[in-house]
Structure 1
Amino acid sequence: MRVSVFCSSAPNIPQTSLELAFNIGKAIGDQGWDLVWGGGKASMMGEVAKGARSTGAATIGVIPEGLKKVEFEDTDATNMHVVTNMRTRKAKIEDLAEAFIILPGGIGTLEEFFEIWVGRYLKFHHKPIAVCDPTGVYAPLQVAIDHLAAQNFMKAGQAELVSWCSDIPTTIEAIRIK
């Protein structure tokens, strides 16, 4: 199976987040699965790829030409797809991956998360989605989503399409295709 991980490329984030990224990459590889990710070696993006490679997993990157130097293209990737823009990147990642894990991140990570979540709700794909958040970074987001649901801005069945997990084993189990 090929698992996509969406996560931060920001500098100066907590060491615990970098360790989480490495460990989720390692957990993916320990399952005999491969990693699909944004192709960068900065921050959490780089750590998730290192973790996957530490187990011998293939790492399949997708990076826009314009970000090769900004996100520092990971030249150790098993395979790197260089694309023209972010929309093409997201579409290629969605095509390549069979499941999605969301780790802590900023607006780019959130954009990827929401796009893949909406795509699943609209039945453009049926791939599992799990948020791995052991430190509660996304707790305010969960409160906001619950508030939207309570105000009837979310449709029935939308919230159930995402597994919110507080540890790596639960996350791996949540995306396991049965």
Structure 2
Amino acid sequence: MRINGIKDHLRKQKIMGKKSTFSAAFASALAPFDKFDNVSVAEAIRDLGQNPERDLNCVYCGDTAATWDHVHRRVIGGEYSGYGHRIRNLVPCCRSCNERKGKRTWEEWLDVLSPPDIEERRNNMRRFLSKPSAAPFTVEDMRRAAPRELSEFLEIRQEVFRLMKKADDLADVIRETAIKAHSAR
């Protein structure tokens, strides 16, 4: 570690600097989820070319899986993407691929890795994602089903962000006033 590393800590902190975290929380709250069903999960794993009775491997690189990756991101640009915690949106993944894949699509990540069996992996993923239960459930679907409730939810989100901005502004005033008072002593 070098002394310049302290610079990241020596700066004004803003509540709104965490807006993406709060946006993700609101979007994730809307995201649908499947209840665990061993039969459905086993079928999905078989579609990925794996044996559900054995330890699972990363769908991208083939290493031992240690976590689950969302094939499609739940949140894009602070908004719910249409995909959630669904059986057909979660794949076994090693920690390295899960951390390094970032915002790339599964196809882009396979291209980056370029494993020797890339076509087999692509075919497995396409089969896995071809089922009706892999289709997105969009905000428009929600709007058709519960227009009043969705509208109220989005208004609450805006109010939370407005209050976060107001709190940031108040924090600036409090900090500046307190620093001046402290310096005057």
TM score, norm. by length of structure 2:
0.25
- Structure (1 or 2) with the greater strand fraction: 1
Greater helix share, structure number: 2
TM-score normalized by the length of structure 1: 0.25
